[in-house]
Structure 1
Amino acid sequence: MDHTGHFPWDWTVGDADEFFAHERSILNLAFATIRAYQTHLEVFCDFLTDPVYEWDRVCLQGFGRSPAQIITEFNRVRHAQNNEQAPAKRPFTRAELQGFFDLANLEVERVLVSGRKGAVAAYRDATVFKTAYAWGLRANEVTHLQTVDFSRNRWAPQFGEFGVLQVRDGKAQRGSPPKRRSVLTVFDWSPAVLDTWIRTGLPWLAPAVSEIFPTANGLPVPKSNLHRRFRDYIDELGRVLEDMIEKAVRPKEERE
């Protein structure tokens, strides 16, 4: 409505085309975001135009016009590929990954030294990031892990109780329940990270729940919290790298 200046019963397909062209070319929104917006708008228009709800007749009687579906097969962003990431996105190098984990560990110390609350939450999130990397988990999968999801692997007894992970909240196909899969433990350090968290960190949050990464209320940690902390760490590492480059280049410029 802000973009078109019209109420829904005056919306046209052209309005939708102009709006999404602006969102894509000017605001540079991702394809997945555009597709989500279009899905929400399409469902809303289906609700308005469905004769069962009679909103089409109400609008026609009250305003002389009835709403129409403005998301069609011709202006819809299609989900044609499994991976829609921009080419600029790449995996971390080992040095970058180590720097990220070191910063996550350092945040726990910084919170403790400052006397602020949140040291346990920072410790939890640091363990979440390491767990997601070690077992290749999505955000929704790692936030819903429970202690019963880990078991021994007879072919790798050195991992103890963390030899196999049963992922129960995998990405679902359309119209299907969450997909399950088994993930084998491959890193020697990952069982110790989880075991230490379960013994020393988890009891400070919610010892009576089976979730591995709960909030203080016993609920799974929100994905938005993890995304925000992840972005904060990445931004801080970026600033540190820029400072290092500036310090390395400055002496050379002074000599010249």
Structure 2
Amino acid sequence: MGAASHFLEDEGIATTGISLVRNNTERMELPRFLWVPFELGRPFGAPHEPDFQRRVLRAALGLLERCDGTVILEDFPDDAPAGDDDGPAWSCPVSFVGAAADDGGLVGAVLAELRRLAPWQEMYAAQRGRSAPPASGLSHEQIVRGLSALAIGARDPSVATNLPLPEWVRLGCDDLRTWYMEAAQGRPGRATSLELRDWFWRETALARLIGASAVRLAGSEHPALHMFGRRAMVPRVYMNDLMPGVEPYI
């Protein structure tokens, strides 16, 4: 929508939008946008909060009435509601051991983590009547061992797939992360998406393994692999912890 707004405005059609990344919107010099201080994927703040969501929508639409400049970037003043506190508090579904001493030891830590989380993931699937199908075509152990090989320096790990390395890594990480999120949601209690994301990236051995393999790819002389390691594997907010010494891509 951001880039398209320039073309629509040139045709005389007024546009407005919502931005979750202020720097990007500033650089694009978009005609009218409302920046909101919410987590990515939540442009209206929080689910099940219709009054608050209407406030955000009205603020964005209200920019259509403004004519005080060719570029208007307004800041929404409030954070998203914290959510419903009723019911049991959510907590981590398993207790994890400390960080493994080396990248090779992470394989055992992640496989043990998968075993401990399995009952919660099965409970989630039973409650919902479904589970997300894997996209990579690889088993969890194949993905874990492939990531471990990358983390200890293999340039092209032997993995049972015809997909190029960045593709199986991307899809494999998505498969595992989705499975972990299902397991976390199988536990009683309601967690916000931010709590789930922090739990995954700050507390799991899998996140450390993804970070270790991302560091190796970020150090690659191959431009595409280098960029993939820096941009696509670990969210920027967690890079200092999981990819120390690697500068985020800007």
Q: Into which bin does the TM-score normalised by the smaller protein fall?
A: under 0.3
Q: TM-score normalised to the size of structure 1?
A: 0.27
Q: Which structure: larger Rg? A: 1
